[in-house]
Structure 1
Amino acid sequence: MDIDRFVSTEEDLAYEYELQTQSKNFLTWSRYLEYKKSRDDPVALAWLYERCTNEFPNSVDLWLEYLKWRTDLIHTLNAVFYVDEFTKCNALFERALGWCYDNDRIWIMYLKFAEQQRDLGMIRSILNRSLRCVSLEKHPRIWESIISFIEDDLLQNANFLEDNELESLMHDALFGKEEKRSNSPDLWSSHMLARYLEITDSVEHTLYLLGLTGDEEAVRRLYERYLFPDTFSTVNYKQHDFYLRYINALGQVGTEEEFQEGVEKTIIKFPHLSSSLMVELAKNFIMRSKIPLARSTLDNALKATTKTRDFSVIYDFYLKFLEVLLETIVQEIRANPDIQPAWEQDLTYNFNLLEHLTNTHELLLNDLKVRQDCNNVSTWVARANLFPSVKEKCEVYVNAILAIDPGEVHEASVLGQLWCNYAKLFIEAKDYESARETFDRALRVPFKYKEDLEVIWLCWAEMELEIEGFEGATKLLEKALKIPKHPELLIEKYDKGGKDFPAQAVIFTSLKLWAMYLDVMEASCESSDQVSKTREAYNNMIGLKLATPLIFINYAHFLQAQNMWDESFQIYERAIAAFPPQTKYELWNIYLGECSEQNLSTERLRDLFEQALELAKHGIDCSSFFLLYSNLEKSNGLYKRSVDILYRGCKETNALQSKVLLWRSCLDASKNFLGDEDSRPFYEECIKTLPNSKVIMFVIDFAKVEERLQAYERSRAILKFGAQLLHPDQNKILWDFWNEFEVRHGSKSTYKDMLKFKRHVGDNFKVDTEQVTSKEGNVAFIASSDVGGTHSAPESSQVTNPEEISLDL
C-alpha cells in the first residue's frame, strides 16, 4: 500500500505523528476522520476507517458511522449491476457483527441494506441470526424493519382482495381452464407474517397484511384461528372485512361444505353482510362449475332479502351474472360454431331469465317492500297497479286482505280504500252482487279507524245510487246510520277506549255519511213525508251533537225552500246557542241578512240586533251589525236613534279600523240628521277616543264644523290642539288647512301666531304621543263641559274631570 497516497498534506503528517504517540486516543482519531471527510477523498477516508476500526473493534458508534458512510456511497446504485460493491458492504457488516454481534442497531442497518438488495433468502438469514443474537426485549425492533419492508415494498401494489374477473371464472366454469391465473401468492411475506403473529400484539394489522399476500391456505388457517373466538376485535379496520377475506380464502382452498359453513357462521355474526356473502357463495359455485346452483342461490337470496341495500347488491350481481353468462356462451359459439346446438337451450333459457329479471324490477322491489312491512297498505295498492289484468289485480287484493293485520295499520282510511278498490273491479265488470258481497265482508273487518268504514259505506252508497237510484242509497245509508239505544254511552266508550273499541259501534256518528244521507234525501224530497224524514235526519244530527255550522245553515235553507221561514229562524237560534262567539258572529251575519229580507216587524228585528250585539262584550268586531242596525232605524225615520246606535258602536268596538269607520259614519250621520251644532259632543268624544295618527282628519272636520258655525276662535283652538298631537313633518294636512283658514278668516297677527306656534311645536315636540295614547286608549284632549247644543251630549262628555281644560271659545 502506498502510504504517500493517503498521507499527502502537512495536516496528515501532524495527525500521523500524534497517533504514533497516542494511538489509543479516540479523540485524535475522530479529529483525523473529520479532516479526511472534508477532503472529499472516499478511498483515503475508507483507509482511515479501516485503521480506526482495527484500533477500536468494539466501538459500536464507530462501526455504525463507518457502515452508514459506506452504504450511503452506494445507496443509489443497482444491486445487480454493482454486485461487487454490495458484496464488499455485506462483508463489512459481517466484520462489524463479528465484534458487535449483540447490537440491534447494526442488525437493523444490515437488514435494511439487505432489503435494498431484494435478496429474500439473505433477509431471512439475517433475521434469524439477529433474533438469536440480540436480547428478547429488542426483538420487536428487529421485526419492525421486516414488517415495514413487507408493507412498503412487497405489498404496495398487492390487489389480492379483488376477485378474479367474473368473465374468467365463467369461462373456466363453462368451457374449462385454459391457463393459470397470473397472480401468484407472496409465500415469503406470508411465512414472515405467520411467524410475526406468534409474538406480536398487533394482530389486527398483521392479519390485514397477511390477507394481502394471496396465500389463501395461510389466510384460511390463521384467520380461522384468530377470527372466530369472540375475543377478536378491531380498531383501525372494519371487522367484517376480515371475515369476508376469510370467506374468499375458503372459496379458493376449502371444501364446499367448509365454505358454506363459513358463510353461515359469518352471516350469523354479521347479518348486514348477507348480500355480500350470497354473492361470494354464488361466485364459489361458479368457480366449482355449478352454474345452476349459483343461479338458484341468487334467485332465492333476491326473494328472501328484507333490506333495500342487500336487494340492490344481489340484483345488480344477478344481472351481471346472466349478462356475463350469455356473453361467454355467445363468444365461444362465435369461436367454435359447431357447439351451437349443444348450447342453444341454455342460451334461450338464460336470455328469457335476463329479460324477465329486467322487466320485473319494479315488482321485485314491491315484493321487498311487502316483506319489509306487509301491513303497509300503500305498498299493496302500488302492487295492484303493476298488473294490467283484472284477474291479477284481484289476486293482489286477496293476498293483501289475507296478509294485512287491521290492528297494525297506522293510517286512517287507507285499508278501507283498498277494500273499495277491490269492490270497484266487480263494479266495472257489472258484477254488482260480487261487489255487494265484497262491501259486506269489508264491513266486518275490525278496523281501528272510523274513517275506513266511512270510505266503504260511501263507496257502496255511490254504487247503489247509480244502480238503484235514491231509494237504494237511502236504505243503505239508513242501515249505516241507525241510531242505537243510549248512543252517548257508546260514544263515551269509543272516546275512552280509543282504537281498541270497534269502530263499527259508532259509525252512526260519521259526519260524512250523514252529509251524503242528507244530500240524497234533499235531492229526492218530493212529498211531505220525505220532508219530515229529512227534518228528522237533521234533528238527529243535532241531537247527536254532530251538526256543524254549515249543517245548521243547510237545514235552515232547506226549511226556507219549503216556505217554513219561522222554523228556519228557529234553527238559526238553536245554532247560535250551540257555538262559540266567533262562530256565532258568522251565523248572526247570515241570520240578520235573511231576517231583513223577510220584512219582519221592527220590534223583532231590534230584539235580534240587540242579541247579536251582545257579541261585542266578548271582543268580537260587530261593526257591521251596528251599521245594519243604524240603517234599520234610519229607514224608520228615527235619525237620533240611528246616530246613537252608531255612537254606541264606537264605544263598544275595540278594533281600531272598525272604530274609525264607525266614528266616520256616526259623525256624518250626526251632521246630516242633527246638524253641525249638535255634532260637537260627538266630535269631542271622537277626538278623545282615537289615537293621534287617526284623529287628525276628525280634528280638521271638527274645525270645519266650527268654521261653518262661524265660531272661528273655537275652530282655531281645535286646530291648535290638533297641531300638538304630531310633529309638523307628520301633520302637514292640518297645517295646510290652518294656513288656508288664517288666509280666509284670520289677520296678520293670527297668521304670525300660527307660524310662531308651528316653530314652537317643532322645537319642543319630543314625546311620541301616539305611542302613549294608543296604549292608554285616548289622546290628551279634555273638552270643556261648557258646550251648548239643542241635543244632549254623549254621556262621557258630561263627566266632570279635574284635568279638563277650557278652550276659551
Structure 2
Amino acid sequence: MVAWAEIPADRDLYPSESDLPYEEEILRDSFKLKGWWRYLVANASAPFKKRSILYERALKALPGSYKLWHTYLRERLDAVRPFPITHPSYSSLNNTFERALVTMHRMPRIWIMYLSFLTHQRLLTRARRTFDRALRALPVTQHDRIWPLYLKLVSLPGVPVETSFRVYRRYLAFDPSHVEDFVDFLIQSKRWQEAADRLAPVLNDDAFYSIKGKTKHQLWLELCDLLTKHATEILGLKADPIIRGGICKFTDEVGRLWISLADYYVRRGSYEKARDIFEEGISTVITVRDFSVIFEAYAQFEQSALAAKLEAAEDHSDNDMGGEGGGKDGMGKLEKRFLDGCWLNDDNDTDLRLARFERLFDRRPELLNSVLLRQNPHNVEQWHRRVKLFEGDPAHQASTYVEAVKTVDPAKAVGKPHTLWVSFAKMYEEHNRLDSAEEIFKKATQVNYKTVDHLASVWCEWAEMELRHKNFTKAIDIMRQATAEPSVEVKRRAAAEGNEPVQMKLHKSLRLWSFYADLEESQGSLESTCVVYERILDLRIATPQIILNYAFLLEENKYFEDAFKVYERGVKIFKYPHVRDIWVTYLSKFVKRYGKSKLDRARELFEEAIEQTPAQEVKPLFLQYAKLEEDYGLAKRAMNVYDWAVKTVADNEKLSLYEIYIARAAEISGVPTTRQIYEQAIKSGLPPNDVKFMCLKYAELERNLGEIDRARTIFVFSSNYADPRSDPDFWKKWKDFEIQHGNEDTFKNMLCISRSVSASYNQEYLMQKDQKLSVEEAVVTLKRAGVPGDQMGALEQQLAANSSANSSTNKDSSARAVSFVHGWAVEPEPDTAKRAVTNSEEIDLPESYSDEEDIKISQKSVTAAVFCELANKAAGREREDDVASTNESSLGELERIKRQRQQ
C-alpha cells in the first residue's frame, strides 16, 4: 500500500487507478531503476508537478542514478526558461543542482549544465567558485570541457580585469598553446606590458605552433607594433635589437620594420635618433618597394616636424605681441626674447628644417640609384646614370668613377665595363687634363675584360683621343703598341698560370687592325700601310672588305698588278658567298684596265669565277663575261657564253636569261637565228608556265615573219600546257590568231584541240581520284579482314607510289601526244602507218542557212605528229550534251567570221 505521508494534499496529484500497477511494483522493489523509469514514461503527459514528485521519490530511493538526475535537471531547465532570472524557481533549481552534485560530482555533463545555468544568471562570484569546484572535482582529462565555459564567463562585460587575468594565467598553465588568446585578451584589456612579455618568448620558441595559423612573421610584426605604438608604456624589452633582428630575418617586410623602429624613437621623443634610423634604412634596403615606403615615411616625418616648428613659432610670436607693453612684465618679456635670440640659445631652427626637407627630395634620385646598385653592383648602366646625377660636380663624378671601376668585376658585369674607363678618361679630357686621361687609359688596358673587343675598344678610344688633339705620331705609336704580339716568355707565363688574359689575344683583333690600317693610310706612308695590310693577311684575320680596301689603296697609287695580286689572294682565302664581291670587283677592274689586251687571261678569270660560284648566283658573272666577249671578243663566243649560261644557271633564272639570250642573238645575228634558241628553250625542261610563255613568244615571232603555219603548229604544241578552264588567256590569243589568219577548218581544229586538252585534264583528275578511292577501299577491306597495321601501311605506300607513277606516265604520254613540229617537217601521206584523226562530231548547220551558199564541213587529214592518238581518245569520251553545246558555239563563231569576210 502507498504511504499516506508521501501523498501531497493536492488531490490532482494523487496516483490514479492507472498508476496502481507501477506503485505496486515500486513497493515490491523500490531500488530498481527499471520500475521508476516505467512509471515516469507512463506519466509523460502528466503535469510537471506530478512528474517532479515522482522524480524526487525516485531520486530519494536512487540518489546515484545519473539517468534520473540528468533527465530531471533537463526538465527543470526547460520549465524555468520562460521565467525571468529573478523568479524563485532559479534559486530552487540551483539548490537542486547542488543536491545532484553531492553524488554526481564526477559527471562533467552535470557540471556543464550547472555552470552554463549560472553564467546565464550572471552570478559571477558563485559561478567562479563553482568553476573552481568543478576543476577540482573532475580529472584533468575532462578539464578541456570546462575551460571554454570558464573563459566565456571571464570575458563577459563587468568582470574585473584582474579576475580575468588570473583565470587566463591558470588556463595557460593547463594549455600553453593558447597563448595567442591570452595575448589578444591582454591587448583588448590594454595591458601592453604583459602582452609584450607574453609574445616575446613565443617568438624565441622555435617549437611553437600557432593554433590560429599565424606565421612567425605575423607574430613578429604584432610585437613590433606593440613596441612602437606603446613605446613609453612597455619597459624591460629592448625594441631596437628586436626590430633589427626582424629586419635581418624577414626580408620581405624590411621597409615596414624600419618604419616601425623609427616610429618607436619618435614616440619616445628621440627625433634625431629617428632621423638616423630613416637614413640607415634608406641606405641599406635593396628593393625599390622598400625604398619607396621608407622614403615616403621619412618625408612625412620631416614635413610633420617642420609644420610643428612653424606652428610653435607662430604661437610664440603671438604670445610675445600680446605681452609687450609698459611695466615690469613687459621688460621681463623683452629680456627673455633677447636671451632667446642669442646664438648660444637659438631654438629657431626652422630654416634648417626646411633646408633638410628640400635636401631630402633633392637626394631622392641618388638614393634610388644606390638601391639599384645594391641589387647588382656590377650594372654598368646604373653607374653611368649615377655619374650623370652629379653633372656639374667634377670632383663627385671622379670619385664615382673611381668607385665604379673598383666595384665592377668585368667577368660579372652587366653591360660593357670598358665604357666606364673610357668615360672616366673623357671627363679628364673635357677638362684639358690629357695626362690624367692617358693614365686612366693606361690602367684600363691592363684590366682583364671578358672579351677582346672590349680591350680593343679601349685602345681605339685612346688613339682617337690623341687624334682629336693632333697627336698623330703618338696615336700611331699607341696602335703599334696595341697590335704588338706578346713575347714567347709572356705567353709561356700565361699558359703556366692557366688563366689566359685577353691581352694575349689582342694582337688578333680585327677591329684594332682595321683602325690601325685606316690610321696608317691617312697619316702614314704607303709602305707602312702595306706592312699593316700584309700583317693582317699573315694573321689570317682579313675580311673581304680588308681585301678590297688594300686593293683600292694600291690602285690609287698606280700599283695595278700588285692590286690584282691582292685580289688573287682574296679569292683563294675566301669561299662563297664571301668571295662574291671580290670576284665582281676584280673582274670589273681587270676588264677596265686591260680591255682586249689580255683577253685570254680575262677569259680564264671569268671561267674560274663561274666554276666557283653556285648556280643561284652565277647569272651576273655570265652577263659580265658575255659583255666582255661582245665588246672585245667574238660574237660567236658571246653566244657560246649565253648558251653555257642558260644550261648552268638555276631553273628560276633560266627564263630571264633566255630572254636576254634571244634579244642579243636577234641584235647580233638577226631575228631568224633565234628560232633555234626558242626551240632549245622549249626543250630544256623549263616549268610548264615558262614553256607556254616561250611558245607564245615564238609563235609571235613566226607570225611577224609571216610563217602562219609554223605559228599555228607552235600554238598546237603549247596547247598541251594550257588548261582551258584555268588559262583562258592562251586560248583567247589563239582564237584571235585564227580569226585574223585562219579559216573555218583551222578554227574548227582549234576548238577540237581545246576539247581534247580539256578532256585529258579531266581524265587525269578522274584517274587520280579513282586511284585515291581505290587506295581507301583497299585499306578498309584489309582492316575488315584483320590485316595488321604495319602491312596496311606498306600497302598504302605501294599504292601511292603506283598512283604517282601512273600519273607521271600519263603526263609523259600526253606530253608526247602533241609533239613539236619543225618548219622543215614533211606532212605524211594519208596512206602512211599513222592514221589521220577523224572527227566524229560533225556540225550540222540549221535550215535557216539554206538561202545562202552551203557550207560544207568535211574531214581533213591532219598531221599525226600534231594530234596523234589524243584526239581519238578525247572524241570517244565526249558526252552528247557537250557536243551539242560545242556545235552551237562553233556555228556562232563560223557565222561571225563569214559575215566579217563578206563585209
| TM-score relative to the length of structure 2 | 0.68
Q: For 2:634 and 2:97, how far apart are their aligned partners in 1?
A: 131
Q: For 1:405 and 1:120, how far apart are their aligned partners in 2?
A: 73
**Which residue is 2:693 aligned to?**
697
Q: Which of 252, 267, 271 lines up with 1:291 in the alignment?
A: 271
Report deviation, 1:360: 0.8
Q: For 1:585 and 1:479, how far apart are their aligned partners in 2?
A: 35
**Which residue is 1:468 aligned to?**
470
Q: Which of 315, 318, 329 lines up with 2:298 in the alignment?
A: 318
Report deviation, 1:750: 1.3
Deviations 1:717-754 (A, max 9, x none): 4134213xxx5432223333343455443535414422
- Single out whichever of 278-287 and 185-194 deviates more from structure 2: 185-194
Report deviation, 1:468: 1.9
1:357 matched to 2:353:
no
Task: Give 2:481's aligned amino acid.
Answer: K
Structure 1 residue matching 2:347: 3-state secondary structure? helix
**Which residue is 1:511 aligned to?**
510
1:140 matched to 2:144:
yes
**Which residue is 1:344 aligned to?**
347
Report deviation, 1:551: 2.0
Closer/same/farther in 2, CA of residues 253 and 382 from structure 1, 3 Å limit: same
**Which residue is 2:198 aligned to?**
222
Counterparts of residues 703-742 of structure 1 (less than 5 Å): 703-704=699-700, 708=707, 710-711=709-710, 714-723=713-722, 727-742=723-738
Deviations 1:258-299 (A, max 9, x none): 444544555565466655444444333334433333333333
Q: For 1:424 and 1:258, how far apart are their aligned partners in 2?
A: 53
The unaligned stretches of length 5 or more in structure 1 are: 37-43, 156-183, 791-804
Q: For 2:568 and 2:493, how far apart are their aligned partners in 1?
A: 31
CA contact under 8 A between 2:411 and 2:449: conserved in structure 1? Answer: no
Q: For 1:116 and 1:651, how far apart are their aligned partners in 2?
A: 113
CA contact under 8 A between 1:676 and 1:705: conserved in structure 2? Answer: no
Report deviation, 1:552: 1.9
CA contact under 8 A between 1:233 and 1:239: conserved in structure 2? Answer: no
Closer/same/farther in 2, CA of residues 354 and 752 from structure 1, 3 Å limit: closer
CA contact under 8 A between 2:448 and 2:501: conserved in structure 1? Answer: yes
CA contact under 8 A between 1:108 and 1:142: conserved in structure 2? Answer: yes
Deviations 1:88-110 (A, max 9, x none): 88778667766754444454455
The unaligned stretches of length 5 or more in structure 2 are: 1-7, 27-34, 60-65, 321-336, 770-799, 825-863, 869-903
Deviations 1:148-179 (A, max 9, x none): 889xx889xxxxxxxxxxxxxxxxxxxxxxxx
Closer/same/farther in 2, CA of residues 393 and 120 from structure 1, 3 Å limit: farther
**Which residue is 1:577 aligned to?**
572
**Which residue is 2:432 aligned to?**
430
Closer/same/farther in 2, CA of residues 675 and 137 from structure 1, 3 Å limit: same
CA contact under 8 A between 2:387 and 2:401: conserved in structure 1? Answer: no
CA contact under 8 A between 2:689 and 2:721: conserved in structure 1? Answer: no
**Which residue is 2:838 aligned to?**
none
Closer/same/farther in 2, CA of residues 195 and 522 from structure 1, 3 Å limit: same
Task: Give 2:604's aligned amino acid.
Answer: D
**Which residue is 1:604 aligned to?**
601
**Which residue is 1:678 aligned to?**
676
Q: For 1:740 and 1:355, how far apart are their aligned partners in 2?
A: 92
Deviations 1:553-577 (A, max 9, x none): 2222222322333333332332222
Task: Give 1:315's aligned amino acid.
Answer: F
Report deviation, 1:378: 2.9
Task: Give 1:354's aligned amino acid.
Answer: F
Task: Give 1:684's aligned amino acid.
Answer: I
Structure 2 residue matching 1:365: 3-state secondary structure? helix
Closer/same/farther in 2, CA of residues 758 and 505 from structure 1, 3 Å limit: closer
Q: Which of 612, 625, 628 lines up with 1:629 in the alignment?
A: 625
Closer/same/farther in 2, CA of residues 788 and 679 from structure 1, 3 Å limit: same
**Which residue is 2:170 aligned to?**
195
Q: For 1:539 and 1:789, how far apart are their aligned partners in 2?
A: 64
**Which residue is 2:422 aligned to?**
420
Closer/same/farther in 2, CA of residues 390 and 318 from structure 1, 3 Å limit: closer
CA contact under 8 A between 2:510 and 2:541: conserved in structure 1? Answer: yes
Closer/same/farther in 2, CA of residues 265 and 397 from structure 1, 3 Å limit: closer
**Which residue is 2:519 aligned to?**
520
Report deviation, 1:361: 1.4
Q: For 2:523 and 2:435, how far apart are their aligned partners in 1?
A: 25
Q: For 2:734 and 2:58, how far apart are their aligned partners in 1?
A: 121
Deviations 1:688-720 (A, max 9, x none): 242x34443234345556764623674254134
**Which residue is 1:560 aligned to?**
555
Counterparts of residues 2-81 of structure 1 (less than 5 Å): 54=56, 58-59=66-67, 62=71, 65-66=74-75, 69=78
Structure 2 residue matching 1:729: 3-state secondary structure? coil
CA contact under 8 A between 1:412 and 1:452: conserved in structure 2? Answer: no
Question: Percent identity between the aligned chains?
Answer: 22
Deviations 1:639-686 (A, max 9, x none): 5544443343333333x5323322443455556646254235413333
CA contact under 8 A between 1:413 and 1:452: conserved in structure 2? Answer: yes
Task: Give 1:136's aligned amino acid.
Answer: V
Deviations 1:61-114 (A, max 9, x none): 63575477468758xx9x8xx899988887786677667544444544555666
Q: For 2:95 and 2:184, how far apart are their aligned partners in 1?
A: 33
CA contact under 8 A between 2:183 and 2:198: conserved in structure 1? Answer: no
Q: For 2:431 and 2:300, how far apart are their aligned partners in 1?
A: 43
Report deviation, 1:239: 1.0
CA contact under 8 A between 1:556 and 1:571: conserved in structure 2? Answer: yes
Q: For 1:359 and 1:87, how far apart are their aligned partners in 2?
A: 78
- Single out whichever of 736-745 and 421-430 deviates more from structure 2: 736-745
**Which residue is 2:217 aligned to?**
240
Task: Give 1:381's aligned amino acid.
Answer: H
Q: For 1:577 and 1:626, how far apart are their aligned partners in 2?
A: 21
**Which residue is 1:795 aligned to?**
none
Closer/same/farther in 2, CA of residues 127 and 546 from structure 1, 3 Å limit: farther
Closer/same/farther in 2, CA of residues 101 and 548 from structure 1, 3 Å limit: same
CA contact under 8 A between 1:397 and 1:418: conserved in structure 2? Answer: no
Q: For 2:53 and 2:690, how far apart are their aligned partners in 1?
A: 114
1:458 matched to 2:464:
no
Q: For 1:628 and 1:608, how far apart are their aligned partners in 2?
A: 12
CA contact under 8 A between 2:200 and 2:223: conserved in structure 1? Answer: yes
Task: Give 1:222's aligned amino acid.
Answer: R
1:388 matched to 2:383:
no
Closer/same/farther in 2, CA of residues 658 and 97 from structure 1, 3 Å limit: farther
Higher CA-based Rg? 2
Closer/same/farther in 2, CA of residues 502 and 3 from structure 1, 3 Å limit: same
Report deviation, 1:581: 1.0
Closer/same/farther in 2, CA of residues 269 and 519 from structure 1, 3 Å limit: closer
CA contact under 8 A between 1:67 and 1:93: conserved in structure 2? Answer: no
Report deviation, 1:15: 9.5
Cα RMSD after superposing both structures? 4.9
Q: Which of 477, 481, 484 lines up with 2:483 in the alignment?
A: 481
CA contact under 8 A between 2:286 and 2:375: conserved in structure 1? Answer: yes
Q: For 1:255 and 1:517, how far apart are their aligned partners in 2?
A: 76
Closer/same/farther in 2, CA of residues 696 and 132 from structure 1, 3 Å limit: farther
Q: For 1:83 and 1:316, how far apart are their aligned partners in 2?
A: 64
User: Greater relative contact order (Cα 8 A, min sep 6): structure 1 or 2?
Assistant: 1
CA contact under 8 A between 1:381 and 1:418: conserved in structure 2? Answer: yes
